[in-house]
Structure 1
Amino acid sequence: MIYSVLGEGVAALCCATALSDRGLDVEVIVPEGSREAASRFAGGMLAPFCEGESAPDLIVAQGQAAVDWWAAHVPGVTKRGTLVVAPPRDGAELDRFARATQEHDWVVPGDLEPDLEGRFARGLFFPTEAHLDPRKALASLRDSLLAKGVTFRSGTPRGHVVDCRGLASRDSLADLRGVRGEMLIVHASDVTLTRPVRLLHPRFPCYVVPRDGDRYMIGATMVESARPGPVTARAAMELLSAAYTLHPGFAEAEILELGAGLRPSFPDNIPAVRHVAGRSYVNGMYRHGFLMAPVCAEQLAAELAEVYAHAD
């Protein structure tokens, strides 16, 4: 039996990896004319406890496996935790965040990130969380699959189909919707941050994630819209304003990229594995792609390996 995984984003590559890890015969079908995968615009934060502010307990509990999964499959997983701060006028937001989450410590932000010294009196530190560069992680998964003999091609799938096409799967999953996310990547030589920092704000909270070479990804917009297209001026201004509030050095940053992606989401915003009409679907990643794709992939692989074993 061959397993044809449709898609090229984080769900597809995680599924192909999990199936291949079990010794199953896998190929990856890259749909022709597909949009760039939304996972290329992700922050790459492996932050289950921070997500607990708004996500169901299931995401917090299952997402904790993501750090070890990624560390076992790709290089570059940075385990330095997550720092959460708020301007003094928004201190109530920080208290609310603390009540809604777990596994954190109250800290003086400048003790962890010297560049923030004197800017924030207190913050929350989530020490077990981590982050990675999404594009490098996806490239690494692809390279590993190719090295194991997994074929990447276009055309007609064969055998059992594992559909990970994101929003393109709406032709079979009618309850999928798009949630638009927008981000910027900047080069900021006047800023030194070593871990993701979330800035809380009642209207436009944002996160800043370090990349290599003095680059930072700034993101957080969540718009209930399936409209494709470039980043809006409003989103860019809000994200840059929030980044400047975090550190004034971002005022001199060079904007390297503005990007927008459509996150595929189910009504409950919980990623899921579904089996419909002889085809398996891994979809609905919402804002939890890098956190939950490995979980869903391992669930799917275990189910299909069991079926494969019984078929033998």
Structure 2
Amino acid sequence: MRVLVQGAGVAGLTAAFELAVRGATVTVAEIRHALGGNASWFAGGMLAPWCERESAEQPVLDLGRDAAEWWEAVTPGQVTRAGTLVVAAPRDAGELERFASRTSGHRRVDEDEIALREPDLAGRFRRGLLFPDEAHLDPRQAMAAVHDRLSAMGVEFRFDADARHISGFDRQIDCTGMATDDDRLRGVRGEMLILRTPDVSLSRPVRLLHPRFPLYVVPRADRRFMVGATMIESHSGGPVTARSMIELLGAACALHPAFGEAEIVETGVGVRPAFPDNLPRVEARGNTVAINGLYRHGFLLAPAMARQAADLVFNHDGTKELAHETVGQRRSA
């Protein structure tokens, strides 16, 4: 089975791995000149299915429950399993109660335990929620690790390549996100900052709840922190706006004032593809399987969707065309 994977974002890389380990001869075609620059590159990397259930449907939890195990197995050393801490200022205690009522897999923590687990937040928050089974990774390091592993397995990468002009494959996996021609998709713009400061230390992602501008801060190496929160209905991939910059920095300083003196190492924007129901789909038509609509859950849901895509490919012989089929939220229901 010769399979062409279109796109080297998180969906394409995970699909290539699932196909290769099942014995397919895989080529990955990416229109960019190297890894990076896509929505995956600007992701938070939180493997947080229980937290995401606060605003997502049940299939996100069902499909993402095993994501940390997949990433640990495929990219050893890349996953940090320290859970997620959710906090709110005393005046926003109602937001914390609302979050707790919409999620599971957490336990309540008081001021003393918050200080024990995150000493730099000592005295800043009275109550919180700890999701102990959640994890996180650095998306860029994880993507590079998958790329290197695939290359060692014999997967060919063609950068600066337009998949529309490549032929000679039995199957194709379309993982091109917003670049595809599916008019059901809409773009959801996510903006992020990477800050660096020696004055803050966090062991796990921290979510700060706020009725107007909730925030998450994800620790990375070298005292860097990925700060994000925005979800803007837009196809525009232009630079971070002044309003978003102000709100992101203001919310980060509300979590810890030392972020006000941090270096702004990088700003970035990723446009995430989403279907109307915000749930992902794996769809087969002809000889092509499409993985799309991962929305804000790319690293969380890509492993499950990649397995589903590989199932579709290998449930048919090498000559028969794939019947039209859709899996994703239906399978997890």
TM-score range, shorter chain: over 0.9
- Is the 1:49–1:102 contact (alpha carbons within 8 Å) kept by the matching residues of 2? yes
CA-based RMSD of the aligned residues comes to 1.5
Alignment of 1:3-22 (within 5 A): 3-22=3-22
1:32 Cα offset (Å): 5.4
User: Could you tell me which residue of structure 2 aligns to residue 107 of structure 1?
Assistant: 109
Q: Provide the secondary structure at the position in 2 that maps to 1:240.
A: helix
Q: 1:23 corresponds to which letter in structure 2?
A: G
Cross-structure match for 1:86? 88
Partners of 1:276 and 1:87 in 2: how far apart? 50
Q: Following the alignment from structure 1 to structure 2, what is the Cα–Cα distance between the partners of residues 112 and 206?
A: 19
Cα displacement (A) at 1:158 = 3.3
Distance in 1, matches of 2:145 and 2:62, equals: 26
Superposition pairs of residues 63-74 of structure 1, within 5 angstroms? 63-74=64-75
Deviation (angstroms), 1:76: 1.5
Aligned-pair identity in percent equals: 53
Q: For the Cα contact (< 8 Å) 2:284–2:312, is it kept in 1? A: no
Alignment pair present for 1:301 and 2:310: yes
Alignment partners' CA distance in 2, 1:307 and 1:77: 34
**In structure 2, C-alpha distance between the alignment counterparts of 1:33 and 1:79, rounded to whole Å:** 33
- Match for residue 30 of structure 2? 30
Measure, in 2, the Cα distance between the counterparts of 1:126 and 1:80.
Answer: 9
Answer whether contact 1:273 1:300 (CA < 8 A) is retained: yes
> Once the two structures are superposed, what CA deviation does each residue of 1:145-199 show, in whole Å capped at 9, x if it has no partner?
1111110112514321100001001x2x120111000000010110011100000
Q: Which moved more, 1:105-114 or 1:204-213?
A: 105-114
Q: Deviations over 1:10-48 (max 9, x none)?
A: 000000011111111111011258992101000000000
For residue 309 of structure 1, report the CA deviation from its aligned partner.
7.8
Q: Which consecutive aligned stretches of 4+ in structure 1 deviate over 6 angstroms post-superposition?
A: none
Asked if the contact 1:29/1:157 (under 8 Å) is kept, the reply is: no
What is the aligned partner in structure 2 of residue 76 from structure 1?
78
The letter for the 2-side match of 1:222 is M
Question: Which sits farther off after the overlay, 97-106 or 270-279?
Answer: 270-279
Give the aligned partner of residue 323 of structure 2.
Answer: none
Question: Retained in 2: the 8 A contact 1:3–1:158?
Answer: no
Rounded to whole Å, the distance in 2 between the matches of 1:80 and 1:143 is: 26
Q: Give the structure with the higher percent strand.
A: 2
> Residue 302 of structure 2: SS of its match in structure 1?
helix
- Asked if the contact 1:180/1:262 (under 8 Å) is kept, the reply is yes
Per-residue deviation, residues 201-239 of structure 1 (Å, max 9, x unmatched): 011101000000100000010001111211001101101
Structure 1 unmatched ranges of 5 or more: none
Query: Which of 196, 216, 237 in structure 2 is aligned with 1:228?
Result: 237
- AA paired with 1:60? L
TM-score by length of 1: 0.96
TM-score normalised by structure 2 residue count: 0.90
- Structure-2 residue corresponding to 1:40: 41
Aligned length: 309
Shift of 1:111: 2.3
Instruction: Assess if the C-alpha contact under 8 Å between 2:195 and 2:263 holds in 1.
Output: yes
Deviations 1:36-85 (A, max 9, x none): 21010000000000000010001111210101000001132000000000
